[in-house]
Structure 1
Amino acid sequence: MAPMAHLAQIALVAGLVTGGAPALAAPTTTTAHIKLDQFGYLPSMRKVAILADPQAGWNAADAYTPGTGAGQIQVRRWADDAVVLSVTAQAWKSGATHAQSGDRGWQADFSALTTPGSYYLFDTLNNVGSGRFEIGTGVYDAVLKQALRTFFYQRLNFAKVAPYADTRWADGASYERANQDRYATSRWSKGVASTARDLSGGWADAGDTNKYTTFAQEAVLLLLDAYRMNPAVFGDAFGIPESGNGLPDLLDEVKFELEFLKRMQNASGTNGLFLKVGLDTYDGEVTPPSSDARARYYLPECTSATLAGSAMFAAASVVYKGIASQATYGADLLTRAEAAWTRAKTTTANFTTFETACDDGDIKAGDADVDAAGQRSSALIAAIYLYEATAKAEYRTFVEANYNQVQPVSISWWGPYWAPLQVALLRYAGMNGVSATVSTAIRNQKAAQSGTVSITDYSAGTDLYRAHLADAEFNWGHNKTRSVAGAINLDFALFGINPANASLYQEVAQQHLHWLHGANPLGLVMLTNMGAYGAESSVSEIFHNWFRDGSAWDSAKTSPYGPPPGYLPGGPNRTYSGSVVGITSQPPQKAYKDWNAPWPENSWEITEPAIYYQAAYIQLLARLMPSGTVDTQAPTAPTTLAAAGVKATGVTLSWKASTDNVGVSSYELYNGSSLFASGLGGTSTALTSLYCGSSYAFTLKARDAAGNLSVASNAITVKTSACPSAATQVYTDSLASTWADWSWSATRNFANTTPIKVGTKSLRADLQGWGGVALRHGTGIAASATATLRFWAYSPTALPLRISVQTQDSAGETGAVTLTLAANTWTDVILTRAQLGNPNLIKRINLQLQSATAGTLYLDQLQLTK
């Protein structure tokens, strides 16, 4: 049994929370038998304490019967013991024992108390009270901050120093040696310098310090969704190095992981992503991480990783492009997402054959490739967010052909798993252009899910602790499952499903949070070291290489350290397989031990944290915090979109601003159904890179900080002025009559029909190694100081392209530019006269493949502007 805590101990904690002197008024003793949210409650929340009398499990010998007479449970003000409310404890199920917890109990509902302040519950019969709890709108602010800050402590290749890290948890940058993350070599060629890649950055996955692309997917998506669902709670002062830069710290933290994932993509050279980076042995473990000198290796490209990368980049692009200062960053993420998507189409034969055996277990410990169903799920998430970002029919077609092939739709059960996909599907059901049949099918399936994680069991009072999950869900990672169980109830309200029950869904979600905050049979806050933030009893040990058994950071109970505040361990696990006797014989809700011993005790099955556990909890907490309310209201449409100052290559657009219940963050410009520009601010924009003699069909949409997108503005057609002269046209739908084809080592088709960018044709060149497209003018084109060479270029794979011009057939090049085309996207190439070596005359244009590997190049709308 948790020991009785004397008032002085509780009061000291209270002093730390408030920053003032310990309070003096309160009961003589507190009891662990009164279970409630140890941090407290928002004023509007349902507030129910559980008064527990253990009958089975580790504390079965501890008898407790509360006062059950009218008004015998009091809510008292902490500062002066004043009784502010008296309630009557109600027996649960007429005194039955709740098998899942091993407790019989009573429930005391004090929801009528809504006045902000500090309080405790008092049992007048036994003269014992609860610990202190708060009521107020900011009761969870510090909790969210500490929970998010654990990602900072999970950063690799990054020093944790003051003022960003408490001195108790300071450490230098880890894995910075010559054989580590900045110079990691291939698992298949260990130590071979030619395979070295810079794979620095990113988060350690869990208690180990390996980094996984696939395992990061859930964490990144959960955090991005948390931001989209309640952006107001994520401020810019969480105490990380990026605090104060104008971007919410959650998005700064996600950026740290995205930068690592970009390196994993860059390193492949194919736009695919490497699978993981880490150690190949359990031997030689040391703490802190900066002292670990073991060599680090990567597992190369794997389709599982490529699809996970595409999903993360696509979802992140929507968020970052919606913030004016991040529009360029978001656009780069979108390019990467589409490139990874194209690569995955190649490695899966257009999603028909999945690669499922690319992880051989050499890098310890997680088996990081996923099965075909998992890869299809990643592809589905990627396609949904790519469609949201681009409105391209390809992605919509994929979603509607595959959404019912994977869980949850394939099994018609939207349980506490697959959270990012559930949200993505519900978002997709509300997007423009989606099939009404598919949209209805998705929403109807969600509407039917009011069963074991939702209002049916809640209303029936199935669980003494008011947060029912089935016995089977008390397994490895239970606390993540519970966090998701709460969040998926909130999805009903977010997406307007079963609206009559919205308040009940909200209550269910809240009670799952209260369970994690101590309203559970353990009386334990499922976060580490939270005594300074209002918890009387919180987790003191986790299985983590840094805070390992026997280290200076072993336990907050026996040293000034313990792990940093805010880590969420796996939680109760009735399937535990280690050597500690008695855990699996506990009632499921008590199958927990607060310890961190290694093999054979295998504490990692219960107390190891993970970035995806953490992200699930953060999302649940953030969604329940007041912003005021989760923002689901889209801005109004922009009006009176108009064009002025039309030129050959530019135009100025203006409009009347949209309005929003929270605020418009940016505008998105569309040409037809394709996104043309994003992150636009104000009420006007000057476009300067249009094509001469071309028509554009523009509409505008407004986006708010929660990601809600308005309907489109009025449509306008803009036709740019005619090109200066026919001599500037090299290729439109055909090669101009004054130009000749002098290409080499290339098969050419000047009337290709797909893909095209402008008009009805494009130029396709299938290039052999080092082959090139060369186009020659009969007499040459005079080039003024403002002359430019401009064209659209496209390749199914990332293509290294060298561009040069010649003044005469026999003359050498006046300049050369090399660039890498991103895969599967049209690139608008504009080169100035200076970039081309300042030629006075241009007679030949050469576009050469800078590789011995063959490739396919598409060109469209090639122009020379004098």
Structure 2
Amino acid sequence: MSMEQQGCIAVNQLGYRRRDAKIAIIPGQGGSFRLVNNESGEPVWQGETSAAVEDKASGETVSRGDFSAWEQPGTYRIESGEGQTSYPFVISDSVYQEAHHALLKTFYYFRCGMELEERYAGSWKHAACHQMPAIVHGDESRRVDAWGGWHDAGDYGKYVVPGAKAVADLLLAYEYYPHAFERLLPLPESNDVIPDVLHECRYELEWMQRMQDNENGGVFHKLTTLNFPGPDIMPEDDTAELYVSPISATATGCFAAVMAKAARIYAAVDASFAAGCLNAAEQAWAWLAIYPEYPGFRNPPEITTGEYGDEQDADERYWAAAELYRTTGEGRYHQAFRQMAEQDTINKYELGWADMGGYGTISYLMSERERDSGLAARLKAGLLQRANELAAVSDQDGYGISLRPEQYIWGSNMLVMNHAMLMLVADRLSDSTAYMRRAIEHVHYLFGANVLGKSYVTGFGIKPILHPHHRPSEGDGVEEPVPGLLSGGPNQGLQDDYAREHLTGRAPAASFADIMESYSTNEVTIYWNSPAVFVLSHCI
């Protein structure tokens, strides 16, 4: 067997649960394939592939070998009649336990403002960072002591909008799959009372509360240095002045939403913290009411860190109204939600930081409060229609995922996981398993069932990414990167110098480089990890 043939057949390198659909993607025209016991080399099952298809996203001709019928636990590989083979994988109902654990533990590694001790961080320990008060941009005499929270990505900026998405995903995962969070990570706060996922989210929520302007209830958009630090600078060595950027409506809206959601979830475990979250949410809503139209955020001229600009704030307001109504039951929030639900400008079924309407829709459909039955029916139908659209794309894709070729953008793996997340929600709303089967194929893609045969999660799979655009992983002197980081994935946009030089002409799904310099393909973020935690929580 040549090195080119080994791993040529794409599989989930972690393995497969016994009763999941199990699909191997085989390059070429297809034909017979067999499942082989990896230890003995003996075939245990054989079958015929589907008809080959020209897969536009990968630029490859592929066929699919379905071995779902085989459920016997063990370690296997797939071999084709052409002499191709897959990497070894296991069949076991516990294949996702460690990956789920690591994807969640990564949020601890993103923590800012505290020492990451060796007893919790292992080799990836580092000193406390970014503890100085920040200058309020435009009011140089004012300081905000907004320590804590999570670094956003491969840099050390902290941003309210993507932070709200990340917390929302984790809290939704806890609501849907509480059993997935019984195991300790552990964290410095770990105890036998509150699950670690809630301790971790609280660390970010408390930082967000420090970002609320106590003079008017609005929320500052972000906290960063003026410019990004060098690529190998450790967080404690990033000592440039910190700046708080101006209040934005998008930050205030998603802050109100996630605080209202947190108030409801934490009420059962910490009534005092929950009350503080609700008070913060109501103050933010009051600011939004005073400013029904507000300019979209843009970086001040001196600041070149991540912008997260968004001219549209209706989706954040829609989400906030839904969460505040679900938490308080107050009619004014219900009225606001119903009014905004009639706006065609709001995308009500997306889960990205720029389009947060899906969180509002999910909250309303999950609500125990009295609902407008006609509106609820329309929202449910719209969400299921969106899930059907994603399923239809998945069924046509050579690797079974819901991305069209043009959707291999910066952070394409976020879309992969957001889509899987939405299909799992649809599964629950429809009492079906059809969406779930397709959602799980998105997990297979993440861990190696892709045209590059690569696991996009550090530390997991036979061919995991090794050089993410993540400053601590680059600067800590540890050979292995921080485990559990989800790479942004293929991006045909050629948005960094390395990509422009080395990836030009590649097919969309192959436009990826496992190298620190390619930040537009290989960066990591909290809000790419968070939907992955949700999806894998379903698998535990």
TM-score, scaled relative to structure 1: 0.59
1:42 and 2:17 are equivalent in the alignment = yes
- The letter of the residue matching 1:332 is G
CA distance in 1, matches of 2:347, 2:105: 35
Q: Give structure 1 stretches of 5+ with no counterpart.
A: 6-29, 54-64, 554-559, 598-602, 627-866
Corresponding position of 1:539: 465
Conserved 8 A contact 1:416-1:482: no
CA distance in 2, matches of 1:116, 1:391: 49
Corresponding position of 2:221: 275
Q: Do the aligned partners of residues 174 and 196 (structure 1) sit closer, same or farther apart at CA in structure 2, a change above 3 Å counting?
A: same
1:380 deviation in Å? 1.3
Conserved 8 A contact 2:347-2:355: no
Corresponding position of 1:367: 307
- The letter of the residue matching 1:563 is P
Conserved 8 A contact 1:75-1:86: yes
Cα deviation digits, residues 83-114 of structure 1 (max 9, x gap): 33222333424xxx323212222322111111
1:97-496 alignment, distance < 5 Å: 97-123=54-80, 126=83, 129-167=85-123, 169-176=124-131, 180=132, 183-190=133-140, 192=141, 195-265=142-212, 267-282=213-228, 287-321=233-267, 323=268, 325-346=269-290, 348=291, 351=292, 353-357=293-297, 359-371=299-311, 373=312, 375-405=313-343, 409=347, 414=349, 417=352, 421-429=357-365, 431=367, 432-449=369-386, 451-454=388-391, 456-458=392-394, 461-496=395-430
CA distance in 1, matches of 2:350, 2:273: 35
Choose the corresponding residue for 2:520, options 594, 605, 617: 605
Conserved 8 A contact 1:409-1:445: no
Cα deviation digits, residues 458-517 of structure 1 (max 9, x gap): 4xx422212242112111110001111111111222222xx4xx2221111011111111
1:618 and 2:539 are equivalent in the alignment = no
Conserved 8 A contact 1:415-1:453: no
CA distance in 1, matches of 2:370, 2:7: 56
- The letter of the residue matching 2:319 is I
**Which structure dedicates a bigger proportion of its chain to helix?**
2
Corresponding position of 2:506: 586
Corresponding position of 2:495: 577
Corresponding position of 1:13: none
Q: Give structure 2 stretches of 5+ with no counterpart.
A: none
Question: What SS is found at the alignment partner of 2:472?
Answer: coil
Choose the corresponding residue for 1:520, options 450, 459, 482: 450
Question: What SS is found at the alignment partner of 1:36?
Answer: coil
Q: Do the aligned partners of residues 184 and 311 (structure 1) sit closer, same or farther apart at CA in structure 2, a change above 3 Å counting?
A: same
CA distance in 2, matches of 1:115, 1:285: 46
Q: Do the aligned partners of residues 130 and 447 (structure 1) sit closer, same or farther apart at CA in structure 2, a change above 3 Å counting?
A: closer
1:364 deviation in Å? 3.3
1:610 deviation in Å? 1.2
Conserved 8 A contact 1:416-1:453: no
CA distance in 2, matches of 1:513, 1:90: 21
CA distance in 1, matches of 2:362, 2:239: 46
Cα deviation digits, residues 821-857 of structure 1 (max 9, x gap): xxxxxxxxxxxxxxxxxxxxxxxxxxxxxxxxxxxxx
1:89 and 2:49 are equivalent in the alignment = yes
Q: Identical aligned pairs, as a percentage?
A: 24
1:707-746 alignment, distance < 5 Å: none
Cα deviation digits, residues 501-542 of structure 1 (max 9, x gap): x22211110111111111000000111232xxxx11011111
Conserved 8 A contact 1:570-1:613: yes
CA distance in 2, matches of 1:319, 1:423: 15
Conserved 8 A contact 1:207-1:544: yes
CA distance in 2, matches of 1:402, 1:250: 32
Conserved 8 A contact 2:253-2:288: yes
Corresponding position of 1:688: none
- The letter of the residue matching 1:147 is L
- The letter of the residue matching 2:509 is Q
Cα deviation digits, residues 434-460 of structure 1 (max 9, x gap): 222212221222233355411x344xx
1:419 deviation in Å? 7.4
Q: Do the aligned partners of residues 229 and 406 (structure 1) sit closer, same or farther apart at CA in structure 2, a change above 3 Å counting?
A: farther
Cα deviation digits, residues 189-235 of structure 1 (max 9, x gap): 44x4xx22211000011111011112212111111111111111012
Conserved 8 A contact 2:448-2:454: yes
1:120 deviation in Å? 2.1
1:300 deviation in Å? 4.2
Cα deviation digits, residues 42-62 of structure 1 (max 9, x gap): 111000101124xxxxxxxxx
CA distance in 2, matches of 1:517, 1:51: 16
Conserved 8 A contact 1:479-1:613: yes
CA distance in 2, matches of 1:562, 1:355: 44
1:429 deviation in Å? 3.7
Alignment RMSD (CA, Å)? 2.4
CA distance in 2, matches of 1:543, 1:588: 20
Corresponding position of 1:19: none
**414-423 or 144-153: bigger deviation:** 414-423
CA distance in 2, matches of 1:201, 1:592: 32
Question: What SS is found at the alignment partner of 1:166?
Answer: helix
CA distance in 2, matches of 1:310, 1:107: 46
CA distance in 2, matches of 1:622, 1:407: 32
Question: What SS is found at the alignment partner of 2:396?
Answer: coil
Question: What SS is found at the alignment partner of 2:300?
Answer: coil
Corresponding position of 1:799: none
1:119 deviation in Å? 2.2
Corresponding residue pairs, total: 535
Q: Do the aligned partners of residues 327 and 114 (structure 1) sit closer, same or farther apart at CA in structure 2, a change above 3 Å counting?
A: farther
1:408 deviation in Å? 5.2
Question: What SS is found at the alignment partner of 1:269?
Answer: coil
Conserved 8 A contact 1:423-1:491: no
- The letter of the residue matching 2:287 is R
Question: What SS is found at the alignment partner of 1:75?
Answer: strand
1:285 deviation in Å? 6.5
Question: What SS is found at the alignment partner of 2:338?
Answer: helix
Question: What SS is found at the alignment partner of 1:593?
Answer: coil
Conserved 8 A contact 1:275-1:369: no
Conserved 8 A contact 1:305-1:369: no
Question: What SS is found at the alignment partner of 2:241?
Answer: coil
Corresponding position of 1:77: 37
Corresponding position of 1:4: 3
Corresponding position of 2:515: 595
Conserved 8 A contact 1:310-1:382: yes
CA distance in 2, matches of 1:200, 1:430: 34
Q: Do the aligned partners of residues 489 and 357 (structure 1) sit closer, same or farther apart at CA in structure 2, a change above 3 Å counting?
A: closer
CA distance in 2, matches of 1:49, 1:155: 38
1:273 deviation in Å? 1.9
1:563 deviation in Å? 1.7
Conserved 8 A contact 1:236-1:246: no
Conserved 8 A contact 1:222-1:420: no
1:74 deviation in Å? 2.7
CA distance in 1, matches of 2:366, 2:115: 43
